[in-house]
Structure 1
Amino acid sequence: MATSLSVTIQTGEIHVWSLSFSDAVPDLTSLHQLLSDDERTRAARFISDIDRTRFTVARGVLRQLLSAYTGHPARSIELVYGLHGRPAVTASQAHDINFNLSHSGEHALFALTGEGEVGIDIERIRPHSPAYRLRLARRFFSEMEFSAIEGLSASCVEQAFFACWTRKEAYIKVHGLGLSLPLSQFSVSVNPASAPQLIATPWCPSDLKLTRLWDLAVPDGYRAAIALNNFTGDPEIRPFDWSAKISPGL
C-alpha cells in the first residue's frame, strides 16, 4: 500500500484489514524503515527470525494504515501506550481514529474506527484433544462457559473453545485491560455457529449494554472476533485485504 493513500471512515463503519505475513516479506526492508527507534529496538530483541519479521511487518503495516487514515507520514506517527500496554495514536495526530491489531501464526488483523473503541483478536487453531481443551477451559474460562463447552459433543469442543477465547480476548482488548482482568471474571457465548453475545460482566454490569461482539471471517484454521464499545447504532464492518495494496472498495 502506498503511504500517500488517503482513506476515510464513514460514520458507522469499522474497517478490518487482513494481512498474510508471506505477502509482506518482499516489503520487509521498506516496512522496517517506517518503525520508530523504540520499535526497531524491540524488533532486535526477538531471538526468532520469524517473530522478528512478523513484529516488523505488523508494526510497519500498522503505520502505513494509520498514515492513510490520519494523513501523517508513517514514520512520524507517534504511539502512546495505556496502563496495560494498549497502543494508541497521540491525540494531536489521531483525528478521532481508534485502532487495534492482532496477529497469530501467518495472519494479522487491523481494526480501525472513527467512533467508540475497538478490540480485535485472531488465533491460530492448533489441534489438540477435546480433553486438553476442556482442561484449559476449566482453568481459564468462567464456570458458565466451561459448562457450556463441556456439554458439547467432542467434535465441537475445539471450535467452541476458540470461539470463546477470541471473543473474550476481543472484549479485554476493547477496554485495554490486558491481564488485569482474568478471563474467568466475565462470560461470553461459546457456540461457534451462533452470533456471539456478552452474557455476564460482574466487574462492570453496565457494560452489557455498551459492548458488543462479532465473529469475523478468516482463513481455515483460524478464529477471530471483534468487540466494539460505545458505538452508536449498528456498525458496518468492512473487510479489506492489505495484499491488494489499494482496495477497490476505497
Structure 2
Amino acid sequence: MPEPPDVGKVHLWLLDVRPCIAAEADALELLDDEERARAERLCCPRARAQFVRTRAGLRRILATYLAVPPRSVPIAYGAHGKPRMPCGRLRFNVSHAGGAALLAFASECEVGVDLERIETIDAAEILTTWASPRDYAAWRASSPGDRLAALYRGWVRKEAILKAWGCGFSVAPQELDVPMSARAGEHIVVGTALHRPNCRVLDVPIGSSWTAALAVEGDAPCTASFIVQPA
C-alpha cells in the first residue's frame, strides 16, 4: 500500500461512489456518529450514497497512510468547515459529483480539488454567481465553440483554490480572478490582494465528460499522480 506523499507531491485517488446498497451498508459502518447523522439528514438517496461512500473512501485511504483502522481516523474541521487532520503533516481535500469522487493528499501544504461532470448549463446564471469581471471578459473572448469548456475550466479552478484556502464564504468567488484558457500545465494564481497564499493550479485529466482541477498552496513546484487511475 502507498506511503504518504512526500513534500512537493500530491496523490490523487478517483473513486466510484455511485449508489450501491451493499457498498453503502459497508461504508456506513466506517463512519462516526456525526457523519452518520449528516448522512441521515440527506433526503436524496443518490446524494446520501455519494456522501457515505466518499467519506468511507476518505477514511480507508487515510487509514492506509496512518496505519490505523478506518473508523479510528481522527477528522477535524477548520474554521470554515474544511475537513482536516487535527495534527501531523498530512493534508487532504475531497470533491464528488455524478457518482465519482476525487480525493487529493499532500504533506505540509494545503490542497483543494474540484470535480464536475460536464453538462449543458445556463452560462449566464453560473457566471453571475462566481465570475469576476476579468473572468467574464476572458469567457466572452473565447470562441463560441469553447465557451462551455472555458466555463467549466474556470469554475473548477476557482473552486479548487477556494477549497485549498479553506475560506468558505469569507472570500466571495467574484473577488478572485482565475485563468480560463485551455493552456496545459500549471497556472499560478496570486492571492496577495485577498490576503491569501499564492496557489499553483493544475488541470486533472479525468475524461471527456469531466472537468477537474487541483490547487496547491504555495510557490514551490509540485507534481500530482494518480494512485487510483481513472477508468
TM-score normalized by the length of structure 2: 0.91
Equivalent in the alignment of 2:16: 20
Q: What is the CA–CA distance in structure 1 between the aligned matches of 2:144 and 2:227, rounded to whole Å?
A: 35
* 1:174 and 2:197 correspond: no
**TM-superposed deviation, 1:230:** 3.0
Mapping for residues 129-144 of structure 1, pairs under 5 Å: 132-144=122-134
**TM-superposed deviation, 1:199:** 4.8
Could you say what the CA RMSD is over the residues aligned between the two structures, in angstroms? 2.2
- SS of the aligned residue for 2:3 comes to coil
Deviations 1:57-94 (A, max 9, x none): 00000000010111221101121111111011221xxx
Equivalent in the alignment of 1:247: none
* 1:105 and 2:98 correspond: yes
* 1:152 and 2:142 correspond: yes
Q: What is the CA–CA distance in structure 1 between the aligned matches of 2:3 and 2:189, rounded to whole Å?
A: 35
Contact 1:117 1:174 in 2 (8 A): yes
Structure 1 pair 54–139 and aligned structure 2 pair: CA distance change class (3 A): closer
**Of residues 174, 182, 194 in structure 2, which corresponds to 1:203?**
194
Contact 2:19 2:49 in 1 (8 A): no
**TM-superposed deviation, 1:150:** 0.7
- SS of the aligned residue for 1:69 comes to helix
Gaps of 5+ in 1: 245-250
Equivalent in the alignment of 1:58: 54
Q: What is the CA–CA distance in structure 1 between the aligned matches of 2:184 and 2:203, rounded to whole Å?
A: 9
**TM-superposed deviation, 1:21:** 1.7
**TM-superposed deviation, 1:200:** 5.2
Gaps of 5+ in 2: none
Amino acid paired to 1:212: R
Contact 1:167 1:225 in 2 (8 A): yes
Structure 1 pair 35–139 and aligned structure 2 pair: CA distance change class (3 A): closer
Name segments (4+ residues, structure 1) moved above 3 Å.
Answer: 22-26, 193-196, 198-201
Q: What is the CA–CA distance in structure 1 between the aligned matches of 2:2 and 2:134, rounded to whole Å?
A: 45
Q: What is the CA–CA distance in structure 2 between the aligned matches of 1:138 and 1:41, rounded to whole Å?
A: 34
Amino acid paired to 1:105: G
Equivalent in the alignment of 1:248: none
* 1:192 and 2:179 correspond: no
Contact 1:116 1:231 in 2 (8 A): no
* 1:212 and 2:200 correspond: yes
Q: What is the CA–CA distance in structure 2 between the aligned matches of 1:196 and 1:156, rounded to whole Å?
A: 20
Equivalent in the alignment of 2:151: 161
**TM-superposed deviation, 1:193:** 3.9
Decide which moves more: 53-62 or 19-28.
Answer: 19-28
Q: What is the CA–CA distance in structure 2 between the aligned matches of 1:211 and 1:16, rounded to whole Å?
A: 17
